[in-house]
């Protein structure tokens, strides 16, 4: 992480409509086929878990959107601004998502990632996600083509119960 973050943990707050423009700008800078502003607005309206990470100056530097399902969480989007890659910010958001999943409780976190996005796939694999399938033609590609998605899952273990009277 940057020197400014070494003394304190990154600040993560709920995504709000006021921050959607900043989120959409990061999305557009990170992907050839970004989510639209409307995708983020719809996610907020649906009540999905949506968080932004703020940099030292209060600017949005990363975000995640996840949907709770029956006994699972589905990570829909996790993006770090390209100017902040390599600082552990994505891992910090994954840690938060797993803590949230444990509290639901959920037994797994699921996600899809572009087959060509080897950088993200390596990050997820290092975190403990495993490939469980492929969705053919899931993502839009250049000139009307389609790209497969790698489906990954992370089993969530619940912490052991504390003995009665101990917290």
Closest CA to 81 of 165, 25, 151: 25
CA dihedral (82, 87, 88, 89) in degrees, to 10, reads -50
Scan for tokens 């497969």, then name that residue. Answer: 148
Catalytic residue among 48, 63, 124, 139: 124
pLDDT digit of tens for each residue in the chain (167 aa)? 445 555 566 799 999 999 999 999 999 999 999 999 999 999 999 999 999 999 999 999 999 999 999 999 999 999 999 999 999 999 999 999 999 999 999 999 999 999 999 999 999 999 999 999 999 999 999 999 999 999 999 999 876 665 665 55
Catalytic residue among 48, 51, 63, 112: 112
Check: CB of residue 153 under 8 Å from CB of residue 101: no
pLDDT of residue 160: 64
pLDDT of residue 161: 65
pLDDT of residue 126: 96
Phi/psi-derived region of residue 88, left when phi > 0, alpha when psi is between -120 and 50, beta in every other case: left
What are the strands of the beta sheet with 72-80, ordered from one edge? Answer: 11-14, 49-54, 60-69, 72-80, 108-114, 146-155, 130-140
Whether 138 is catalytic: no
Whether 31 is catalytic: no
Fold that domain 8-155 belongs to in CATH:
Aminopeptidase (3.40.630)
- Compute the C-alpha angle 66/67/69, nearest 5°: 140
pLDDT of residue 157: 83
CA distance 137 to 165: 53
């Amino acid at each position: 992480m940057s020197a400014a973050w070494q003394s304190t943990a990154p600040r993560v707050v709920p995504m709000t409509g006021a921050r959607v423009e900043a989120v959409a700008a990061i999305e557009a800078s990170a992907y050839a086929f970004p989510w639209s502003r409307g995708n983020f607005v719809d996610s907020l309206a649906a009540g999905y878990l949506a968080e932004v990470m703020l940099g030292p100056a209060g600017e949005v530097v990363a975000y995640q959107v996840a949907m709770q399902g029956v006994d699972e969480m589905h990570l829909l989007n996790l993006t770090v601004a390209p100017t902040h890659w390599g600082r552990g910010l994505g891992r910090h958001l994954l840690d938060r998502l797993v803590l949230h999943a444990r509290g639901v409780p959920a037994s797994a976190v699921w996600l899809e990632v572009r087959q060509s996005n080897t950088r993200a796939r390596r990050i997820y694999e290092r975190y403990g996600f495993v490939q469980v399938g492929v969705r053919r033609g899931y993502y839009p590609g250049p000139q009307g083509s389609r790209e497969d998605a790698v489906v990954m899952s992370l089993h969530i273990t619940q912490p052991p119960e504390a003995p009665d009277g101990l917290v």
